[in-house]
Amino acid sequence: MTIFYFTATGNSLAVAKRIAAQAQEEVTLISIPQIMDNLMSEYQDDCIGLIFPIYGCGLPKMVNQFLSHTKLKADYTFTIGTYGFMSGACMFNVQKQGGFDYAESLLMVDNYLPGYEITEEIAKQPQKKTEENLQKILSNISARQKKSNVSTLPWKILTPLIQFIGSTLIKNNQAKGYFVNENCVKCNVCAKVCPSGNITVSDKVHFHQQCEGCLSCVHLCPKNAIHVKHERSTVRWRHPDITLNEIIEANNRI
């Protein structure tokens, strides 16, 4: 089995690792940022999965590029979108785009700081039934179950609008949304967790023009020195099953 994943704060990687742990076969986990420079036109295995965080009811830009340029050839393919509040028609669209046999979304902690307070998000986890729903996904994948996502007409109409608003917000972050305060010790962690290699650190932290808007730099700064415009939380999130080093390994492009 091969699982491709994209992660900023570890939710999607934690799900990938859980699937790998219960699989009865060898599993290769591939972080999408690590292969973007040498993308193959086709990947083959008996089973292939794609796991990603849902952004603006759609895919992160890089995951969309990955899916658009690559064919996933396997007897069984699955995709899981992790999200915090609303997935819209995302999984319906992704299943159509990638022709996945099984597509499912999983409600987890929402790491979108302009929208959510992280302490409240952590407290909401039992209500979101993350573990219960993950267990169902694990057994469905293990049984190679197929699942077609359906989408209602209002969602089909609303989702492109939400995606447009989402991509505008991400562009705003990219242009002028990040602030670095005096706690910064120029440790370079922000540059290493950035999946697009968009950050360089010299006399200060420089944000360039390839931002995914994923907020990994903000959440994972060891000094909590990076802040995003209109953030509702000074508390940060990293999935407890995932270490900072694992995210660096997954995302480092420098």
Ligand X SMILES: Cc1cc2nc3c(=O)[nH]c(=O)nc-3n(C[C@H](O)[C@H](O)[C@H](O)COP(=O)(O)O)c2cc1C
Which residue, 186 or 227, is less far from ligand X as judged by CB? 227
- 61-69 vs 90-98: helix crossing angle, rounded to 10: 30
233 interacts with ligand X by CB under 6 A = no
Which residue, 53 or 98, is less far from ligand X as judged by CB? 53
Taking the complex as a whole, the smallest distance from the CB of residue 81 to ligand X amounts, in Å, to 8
When binding is defined by CB under 6 A, the residue of 63, 89, 108, 180 that contacts ligand X is: 108
Interface segment toward ligand X; rule CB under 6 A; list 96-104, 177-185, 190-198, 210-218: 210-218
Burial grade of 86 (CB within 10 A; 0-12, 13-18, 19 or more): middle
CA 221, chain centre distance (Å):
18
78 interacts with ligand X by CB under 6 A = no
Rounded-to-integer distance, Cα 249 and Cα 169, Å? 27
Burial grade of 152 (CB within 10 A; 0-12, 13-18, 19 or more): exposed
Taking the complex as a whole, the smallest distance from the CB of residue 214 to ligand X amounts, in Å, to 5
Structure tokens at 203: 């006399």
Question: How far is residue 154 from each of residues 45, 56, 149, 151, measured CA to CA in Å?
Answer: 37, 16, 15, 8
29 interacts with ligand X by CB under 6 A = no
Element (H, E) at 232: none
- Block residue for tokens 């796991």: 51
Which residue, 75 or 241, is less far from ligand X as judged by CB? 241
214 interacts with ligand X by CB under 6 A = yes
Interface segment toward ligand X; rule CB under 6 A; list 52-60, 65-73, 137-145, 223-231: 52-60
11 interacts with ligand X by CB under 6 A = yes
When binding is defined by CB under 6 A, the residue of 33, 49, 56, 98 that contacts ligand X is: 56
When binding is defined by CB under 6 A, the residue of 29, 74, 86, 244 that contacts ligand X is: 86
9 interacts with ligand X by CB under 6 A = yes
Which residue, 27 or 193, is less far from ligand X as judged by CB? 193
Nearest 10 degrees: Cα torsion 253, 20, 237, 243: -60
Structure tokens at 123: 């407290």
Q: Give the residue from 12, 3, 103, 11 showing the smallest Cα distance to 45.
A: 3
Interface residues toward ligand X, by CB under 6 A: 7-12, 53-57, 82-87, 108-112, 166, 170, 213-215, 239
